Structures are given as C-alpha cells and as structure tokens.
Amino acid sequence: MRIVLTMPFFRNDVIVVKFPFASSTIYKARPAVVLSSEAYNLNRHRTLLIMAISSKTDTALPFEYSIEAWREAGLLKPSVFKAAIATIEEAYVIEKIGTLGKKDARKLKELLSQIICI
C-alpha cells in the first residue's frame, strides 16, 4: 500500500502542475491557481479546481487579466489568468510556488464572474 503525503491547498495558491501533451505520456510543468475552497480541497477524492496561468501575455483575450504581482506570486515571467478551468488530482501538483496578492485575487474573482456568470 502506497501512502501519499500532501500539503493543504488554499484558494489563490499558485502551483505548478503536470499537464500532459495530447496523445502522449509526456508532461510539461505549467503554473495554475487554485480556485477551490479549503473545504473542497479536503475532499476524499484529493482533487483541486484550478485555472491555468500563461506567460503568453500577447495572446490574452480581453477578459484574461494580467497578474500584476507576478513575482510575489512565485511566477518567473509576467503572466495572465487563462480562461481554462480544470479539475485535477493532487498527485499532479509538483509544488506550491506562491499565493496571489489581494489585487490579483480580486481580478481572478472578476474573471470567474465573467466566464461562468457567478
């Protein structure tokens, strides 16, 4: 029996996750932000709701906000929130690299309200 130890994740944590390439078993590390609440993150299925983050700022859609405090969030380059939401298993998380600042967390909440009408 294999025991996997995990750290708790919180809404607005910036993490690096393994994204698979199409039709391949090769993964590439990509940043994302945790959307789900602590209560959800403690679910027995060990899953997280995340939103993708990209450093391709020149291709951002009009409602995909730039992350102003990108260094403080642990990112290596200026980045944007991408309108791509996924559910992943905690096992796909490589590491937590930071947390969004208050202003960027508000931008994320606004983006979510625009793309899913909440």
Q: Are 97 and 14 in contact (CB under 8 A)?
A: yes
What is the chain's pLDDT, residue by residue, as a tens digit (118 residues)?
A: 444 446 789 999 999 999 766 666 778 899 999 999 988 888 778 899 999 999 999 988 888 899 999 999 999 999 999 988 989 999 999 999 999 999 999 999 999 988 887 6
Residues 53 and 81: beta-carbon distance below 8 Å? yes
Whether the full predicted model's pTM is greater than 0.85, yes or no, is yes
CA-closest candidate to residue 98, choices 116, 79, 112: 79
In angstroms, the CA 89 to CA 16 distance is: 13
Q: Name the burial class of residue 70, with classes exposed (0-12), middle (13-18) and buried (19+) by CB atoms within 10 angstroms of its CB.
A: buried
Secondary structure element (H or E) that encloses residue 108, with its range: helix 102-116
Q: Which two tokens stand for residue 55?
A: 């450093």
Q: CA angle, corner 108, sides to 37 and 87, nearest 5?
A: 50
DSSP state of 65: -
